[in-house]
């Protein structure tokens, strides 16, 4: 009876341990199921869901003070909520002097998906999922794609747009200089916009860096997402 | 039955599973293993012969070496189980090392690809080589690609055969797969997640923080209306001022904000806005009301020559057009009439902490006309050079134009630094060689910010000005050669308190100036005097070289701001000058209470012009008309004003 209990206990532990191991650690790629691939692409060390905050619309005075006029349009601006209060016609004299609500409005947010497209497990998982037009650029480097930016018409060359986004993105590491992308491109796809950031290999990102933080601004959308480099090992090698 | 099944089938299966899960090396710990593989050229993929391979265990002494054969193959046996470092070297190629786990009774396979030492190429994987596992994965990727192509070809053939319909695209085919092509689209914007910090715009100039607390900036946080082409703006400024000197002609002097006593007056009705399309821009704002007269009369320049620019432009507070360049954080090139913003306070009272600012601002907050370039090197810095007709003027009073500029810097969310500087221009009408230089520097600090229903915010502003004129009989330092000292020294300090989530505001402040020569003192509108008339002669309040003028003032302002579009303001002011300057009970208008149209001459007691600019001659001339009339000027003035300020 005692042997049976020990066996059951050990078996249970083994099952739990195996079940707890994600597919990229516990299975060869040939054995990945569609669900495994989906997990790699959506919830893995290489793919994160980020809650991006949306900065409030500036007033025209603020726009002008900053050298601009009119509300900006394009990627990261169009398709976002405009929850500014409008002028209400007073219904009485009392209404004119009655204070408006002092409760600050809630800041809207947006759910985005970030994925290291250059990472080998992601490429494998995309293939498993029949994604053969993954948003990669010909530029060599660490390639990070941001999914979920609301649709906006891309005026002109998407790389021109990317040049402006390039100035507003950075990879941060503790104790090292920030890494700016070498190229950025916005891709219009059937399922929305994808922005691809390519960071240069000369950054020499290594496991010793611990974590990297991706900070980017896309119009009014501010993205901050951390990645654990220790978790981003695949077959014993750092992949991103 | 269940128990028997458990014992006979499940338990043995579980035990077998556990055994299977155990590392096999543990069962043969005393056996040895080996390592072997192929050395290849990373570019051509061809095997590399005579490459030296060194295998060592970092935890143990000693190493094993071998050389790859003609087919690139190498092998080293009799290694104790454990982790080994395999180093491959060959002349002309970069060294490469990789770790490999050697298990008992097994030969671990590791293929190494060496890169040419001068190739300078690399992949995102780092070193040029990949280990055996990675090679396997890459091969698998290739196989999967082929397989997908095959499947898509089959799918295409099948569909064409079945319906002859349009061939689905690759995207459509992939959509048939159970896996999604990409992560799902974002959920609809949701409420604030307290874990995620608020978004900060770190690119658009001065957009990273809320700057509506600044003196001279409107406090609106929202836009009433805008469109892609035009953003309208409407301002209304109505004031009731009561001067305790009780001037009989209701005329107040020495201010560019208050003009009439004991009357409700429209200070400004501003209608205008911003036009914007692509990168082209334009803005205009009207100043219907008192401003269209009271501001324009302070500019002497338009009296030079023809076309009366004072009449042409008097209804416009701002009017310019330009182009925005998407370089750095933005560059603008604009031309037209601009607000000068010298003196920190805005020309528009809605934007200010107080209605009647001190002299440093009140004597300067108007406009200039010319060209300006706004350069934003960072989102915290603006550099704005000006090429303008003159010092806060429509036109050039003489032949030399003015150069100037503004630098605005916001190093912290609680600090704003502004520096305005001007020089080169000749700005004294009828005095061609007199130059003016001026610096106006301000700092604003928000030193307390705890939003709540009590005292929720405190901030101060300090402005210091230095300036002088030289040439044409005056000098900056009062040397005997250049002429009397003609300079301007002034400062003002304001502190503002906000209460109850900005529903109430309270400002206390004041300032002081010393302006020998009076070139920046506002000429009292005695008998309708203006800056152009005073440039010819101002018999009652002179502005000659060496004329002294010192003054100070203080004010307290209470604001009720029930909505961001409207302010109800109550203010009390006290002002003092070293010479008679403010309107007294007798007023500054000759009898019977209207101007005679000749402010350059002394007036007689019957209101008519004396025809004289010298007092002795005027005395004789007015002998039969009751004598010479004199305005009632005082050294002190106290007043309060009640104001309604609207801005959409």
**What's the pLDDT tens digit per position in B338-388?**
998 788 999 999 999 999 999 999 997 688 999 999 999 999 999 999 999
Query: Please, what's the largest Cα pairwise distance for chain A?
Result: 87
Task: Indicate if A83 and A96 belong to the same structural domain.
Answer: yes
Evaluate whether residue B210 is within a structural domain.
no
**Tokens standing for B643?**
């104001």
The pLDDT value given to residue B158: 53
**pLDDT over threshold 80, residue A229:** yes
pLDDT reading at A191 higher than 80: no
Which chain B residue lies closest to A128 (C-alpha atoms)? B144
Q: Are residues A100 and A165 in the same domain?
A: yes
Among B114-128, B242-256, B480-494, which is the least confidently predicted range? B114-128
The residue of chain B nearest to residue A193, with distances taken between CA atoms, is B185
- Within this chain, do residues B506 and B639 fall inside the same structural domain, yes or no? yes
Task: Note whether B183 contacts A65, CB cutoff 8 Å.
Answer: no
- pLDDT, tens digit (0-9, with 9 covering 90-100), for B19-50: 333 333 333 334 688 888 888 877 666 778 88
CB-CB: which of A54, A63, A113 is closest to B189? A54
- Contact yes or no for B191 and A130 at CB 8 A: no
In chain A, the number of structural domains is: 2
* pLDDT value of residue B454: 92
**What's the token pair of residue B259?**
């003009």
The total domain count for chain B is 3
String of DSSP letters for B388-450: ESSTT-SS-SSS--EEEEEEEEEEETTEEEEEEEEES-B-STT-TT-EEEEEEEEEEEEEEE-
CA distance B260 to B290: 10
**Are residues A60 and A112 located together in one domain of the fold?**
yes
Beta-carbon pairs below 8 A across chains A and B = 267
A153: nearest Cα among A74, A56, A77, A91: A74
By DSSP bridging, strand A183-189 and strand A192-199 are antiparallel
Query: Do B199 and A49 lie within an 8 Å CB cutoff?
Result: no
CATH number at residue B95: 2.60.40.1120
- Confidence (pLDDT) at B54: 87
Of the ranges A39-53, A117-131, A168-182, which one carries the lowest mean pLDDT score?
A117-131
B394 located within any domain: yes
Chain segment B10-21, per-residue pLDDT in tens: 444 433 443 333
Q: Are residues A200 and A142 in the same domain?
A: yes
Overall average pLDDT of the B241-252 stretch: 97
Q: How much is the pLDDT for B230?
A: 96
Chain B: nearest CA to A66, how far in angstroms?
Answer: 5
Domain assignment present for residue B157? The answer is no
Q: How far is B611 from chain A (nearest CA, A)?
A: 51
> Would residue B462 count as lying in a domain?
yes
B97: confidence class by pLDDT, cuts 50, 70, 90: confident
Kindly report which listed range (A87-91, B328-332, B444-448) carries the lowest average pLDDT score: A87-91
Res B100: pLDDT: 84
**Are B432 and B544 in a shared domain?**
yes
pLDDT classification of B98: cutoffs 50, 70, 90:
confident
Does one domain contain both A89 and A60? yes
Do the beta carbons of residue A114 and residue A47 sit within 8 Å? yes
> Is pLDDT above 90 for B618?
yes
Give the model confidence (pLDDT) of B164-219 as tens digits.
Answer: 433 323 222 232 222 334 443 333 333 333 344 566 788 889 988 889 999 999 99
Of B130, B148, B173, which residue sits at a domain end? B130
What is the structure's pLDDT at B187?
A: 32
Q: From the list B226, B503, B566, which residue is nearest A60 (CB)? A: B226
- The answer to whether residues B40 and B66 belong to one domain is yes
Write down the pLDDT at residue B167. Answer: 30
Subunit contact B21:A224, Cβ cutoff 8 A:
no
Please list every residue in chain A whose beta carbon sits closer than 8 Å to the beta carbon of residue B451. Answer: 104
Q: Do A51 and A22 fall into the same domain?
A: no
Measured distance CA(B368)–CA(A6) in Å, rounded:
91
pLDDT at B13: 44
Share of chain A above pLDDT 90, in %: 36
Distance of CA A237 to the CA centre of its chain: 23
CB contact under 8 A, B224 and A147: no
Statement to judge: residues A15 and A51 lie in one domain: no
Q: Is the Cβ pair A129, B179 closer than 8 Å?
A: yes
B94 and B113 share a domain?
Answer: yes
DSSP state, residue B10: I
User: Using the 8-state DSSP alphabet, how is residue B202 labeled?
Assistant: S
Helices (H), B420-544: 531-536
What is the percent of chain B where pLDDT is above 90?
61
Note whether B228 contacts A73, CB cutoff 8 Å: yes
Judge: A194–B197 Cβ closer than 8 Å, yes or no: no
For residues B482 and B451, is the Cβ–Cβ distance under 8 A?
A: no
Residue-number span of the structural domain to which B532 is assigned: 230-589+631-647
Interface contact A111-B179, CB threshold 8 A: no
Do residue A143 and residue A230 come from a single domain? yes
Domain-ending residue, one of B100, B130, B160: B130
Residue B128 to chain A, least CA–CA distance (Å): 13
| Position with higher pLDDT, B146 vs B627 | B627
Percent over 70 (pLDDT), chain A: 82
Same-domain status, B450 and B473: yes
Residues B624, B636, single domain; the answer is: no
User: Which of B163-177, B229-243, B425-439 bottoms out in mean pLDDT, i.e. has the lowest?
Assistant: B163-177
Q: What is the pLDDT of residue A128?
A: 85
* B497-516: pLDDT as tens digits: 999 989 999 999 999 999 99
Determine the Cα–Cα distance for residues A32 and A16; give it in Å rounded to an integer.
Answer: 19
**Together in a domain, B617 and B536:** no
Cis status of the peptide bond prior to B592, with omega within 30 of 0: yes
| Structure-derived torsion over alpha carbons of residues B260, B264, B267, B271, reported in degrees to the nearest 10 | -160
Whether the per-residue pLDDT at B431 is higher than 90: the answer is yes
**Which of residues B628 and B120 earns the better pLDDT score?**
B628
Picking from A60, A80, A123, A156 by the largest number of B CB atoms within 10 A of its own CB, the best residue to mutate is A60
Residue A73: list chain B partners with CB under 8 A: 228
Mean predicted confidence (pLDDT) in B599-612? 96
Task: Test B226 with A68 for CB contact under 8 angstroms.
Answer: no
In a domain, residue B566? The reply is yes
Domain range for A154 is: 32-238
- Res B547: pLDDT: 95
CA distance B250 to A106: 50
Q: What average pLDDT does the segment A184-205 reach?
A: 86
Beta strands in chain A (DSSP E): 47-54, 109-116, 142-149, 169-172, 183-189, 192-199, 211-218, 221-228, 233-234, 237-238
**CB within 8 Å: A47 and B183:** yes
Q: In terms of domains, do B516 and B371 share one? A: yes
Q: Per-residue confidence at A102, pLDDT binned at 50, 70, 90?
A: low
- CATH number, domain at B323? 2.40.160.10
Give the pLDDT confidence score for residue B184 in this predicted structure. 39
- B182 vs A52, A150, A191: nearest CB: A191
> Residue B120: is its pLDDT beyond 50?
no
Question: Quick one: A19 and A45 in the same domain?
Answer: no
Q: Which residues pair with B382 in a beta bridge?
A: B408
Domain end: B108, B130, B152, which one? B130
Residues B582 and B598 in one domain: no
Whether residue B143 has pLDDT greater than 80? no
pLDDT in the model for residue B7: 42
| Closest residue, chain B, to A29 (C-alpha) | B137
A61 and A1, same structural domain?
no
Report how far residue B436's alpha carbon sits from residue B398's, in angstroms, rounded to the nearest whole number. Answer: 12
0.80 cut: is pTM over it?
Answer: no
In chain B, what residues touch A148 (CB-CB under 8 Å)?
A: 183, 185-186
Please indicate, yes or no, whether residues A180 and A61 belong to a single structural domain of this protein. yes
From A102, A189, B241, select the one nearest B250 (Cα to Cα).
B241
Banded pLDDT at A163 (limits 50, 70, 90): confident
- B167 inside domain: no
């Amino acid at each position: 009876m005692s042997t049976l209990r020990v066996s059951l206990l050990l078996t249970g532990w083994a099952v739990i341990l195996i079940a707890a191991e994600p597919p990229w650690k516990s299975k060869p790629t040939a054995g990945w199921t569609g669900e495994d691939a989906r997990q790699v692409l959506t919830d893995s060390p290489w793919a994160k869901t980020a809650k991006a905050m949306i900065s409030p619309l500036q007033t025209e005075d603020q726009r002008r003070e900053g050298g601009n006029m009119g509300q900006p349009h394009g990627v990261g601006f169009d398709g976002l909520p405009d929850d500014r209060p409008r002028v209400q016609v007073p219904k009485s004299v009392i209404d004119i002097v009655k204070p408006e609500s002092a409760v600050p409005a809630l800041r809207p947010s947006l759910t985005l998906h970030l994925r290291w497209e250059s990472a080998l497990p992601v490429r494998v998982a995309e293939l498993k999922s029949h994604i053969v037009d993954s948003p990669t650029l010909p530029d060599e480097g660490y390639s990070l794609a941001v999914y979920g930016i609301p649709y906006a018409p891309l005026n002109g060359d998407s790389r021109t747009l990317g040049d402006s986004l390039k100035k507003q993105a950075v990879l941060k590491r503790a104790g090292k200089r920030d890494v700016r992308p070498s190229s950025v491109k916005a891709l219009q796809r059937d399922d929305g916009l994808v922005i691809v950031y390519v960071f240069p290999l000369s950054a020499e990102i290594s496991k010793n860096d611990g974590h990297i933080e991706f900070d980017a601004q896309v119009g009014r959308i501010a993205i901050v997402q951390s990645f654990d480099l220790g978790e981003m090992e695949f077959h014993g090698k750092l992949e991103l | 039955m269940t128990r028997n099944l458990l014992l006979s089938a499940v338990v043995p299966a579980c035990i077998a599973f556990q055994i299977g899960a155990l590392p096999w090396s543990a069962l043969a710990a005393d056996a040895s293993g080996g390592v072997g593989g192929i050395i290849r050229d990373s570019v051509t993929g061809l095997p590399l012969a005579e490459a030296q391979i060194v295998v060592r265990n970092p935890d143990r002494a000693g190493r094993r070496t071998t050389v790859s054969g003609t087919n690139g193959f190498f092998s080293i046996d009799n290694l104790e189980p454990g982790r080994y470092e395999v180093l491959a070297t060959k002349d002309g190629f970069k060294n490469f090392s990789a770790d490999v786990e050697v298990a008992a009774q097994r030969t671990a396979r590791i293929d190494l690809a060496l890169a040419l030492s001068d190739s300078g190429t690399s992949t995102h994987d780092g070193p040029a080589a990949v280990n055996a596992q990675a090679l396997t994965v890459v091969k698998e990727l290739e196989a999967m690609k082929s397989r997908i192509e095959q499947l898509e070809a089959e799918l295409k053939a099948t569909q064409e055969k079945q319906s002859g319909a349009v061939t689905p695209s690759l995207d459509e085919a992939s959509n048939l797969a159970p896996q999604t092509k990409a992560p799902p689209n974002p959920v609809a914007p949701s409420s604030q997640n307290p874990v995620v910090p608020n978004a900060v715009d770190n690119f658009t100039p001065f957009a990273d923080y809320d700057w509506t607390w600044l003196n001279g900036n409107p406090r609106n946080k929202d836009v009433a209306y805008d469109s892609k082409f035009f953003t309208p703006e409407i301002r209304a400024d109505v004031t009731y001022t009561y001067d305790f000197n009780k001037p009989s002609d209701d005329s107040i002097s020495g201010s560019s904000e208050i003009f009439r006593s004991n009357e409700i007056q429209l200070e400004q009705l501003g209608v205008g806005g911003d036009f914007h399309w692509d990168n082209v821009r334009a803005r205009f704002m009207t100043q219907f009301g008192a401003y269209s007269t009271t501001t324009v009369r302070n500019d002497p320049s338009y009296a030079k020559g023809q076309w009366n620019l004072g009449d042409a432009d008097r209804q416009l507070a701002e009017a310019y057009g330009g182009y925005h360049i998407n370089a750095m954080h933005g560059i603008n090139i604009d031309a037209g009439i601009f607000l000068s913003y010298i003196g920190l306070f805005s020309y528009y009272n809605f934007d200010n902490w107080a209605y009647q600012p001190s002299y440093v601002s009140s004597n300067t907050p108007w406009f200039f006309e010319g060209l300006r370039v706004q350069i934003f090197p960072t989102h915290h810095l603006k550099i704005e050079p000006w090429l303008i007709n003159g010092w806060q003027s429509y036109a050039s009073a003489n032949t030399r134009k003015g150069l100037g500029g503004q630098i605005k810097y916001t190093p912290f969310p609680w600090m704003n630094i502004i520096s305005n500087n001007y020089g080169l221009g000749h700005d004294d009408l009828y005095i061609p060689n007199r130059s003016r230089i001026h610096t106006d520097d301000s700092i604003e600090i928000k030193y307390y910010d705890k939003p709540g229903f009590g005292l929720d915010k405190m901030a101060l502003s300090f402005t210091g000005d230095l300036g002088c004129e030289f040439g044409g009989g005056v000098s900056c330092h009062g040397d005997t050669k250049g002429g009397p000292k003609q300079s301007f020294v002034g400062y003002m300090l304001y502190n503002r308190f906000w209460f109850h989530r900005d529903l109430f505001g309270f400002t206390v402040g004041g300032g002081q100036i010393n302006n020998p020569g009076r070139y920046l003192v506002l000429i009292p509108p005695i008998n309708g005097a203006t800056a152009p008339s005073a440039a010819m002669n101002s018999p009652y309040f002179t502005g000659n070289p060496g004329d002294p003028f010192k003054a100070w003032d203080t004010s307290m302002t209470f604001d009720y701001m029930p909505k961001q579009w409207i302010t109800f303001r109550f203010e009390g002011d006290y002002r003092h000058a070293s010479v008679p300057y403010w309107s007294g009970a007798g007023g500054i208008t000759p009898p019977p209470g209207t101007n005679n149209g000749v402010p350059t001459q002394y007036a007689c007691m019957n209101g008519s012009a004396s025809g004289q600019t010298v007092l002795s001659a005027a005395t004789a001339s007015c002998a039969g008309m009751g004598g010479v009339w004199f305005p009632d000027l005082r050294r002190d003035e106290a007043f309060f004003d009640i104001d309604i300020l609207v801005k959409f």
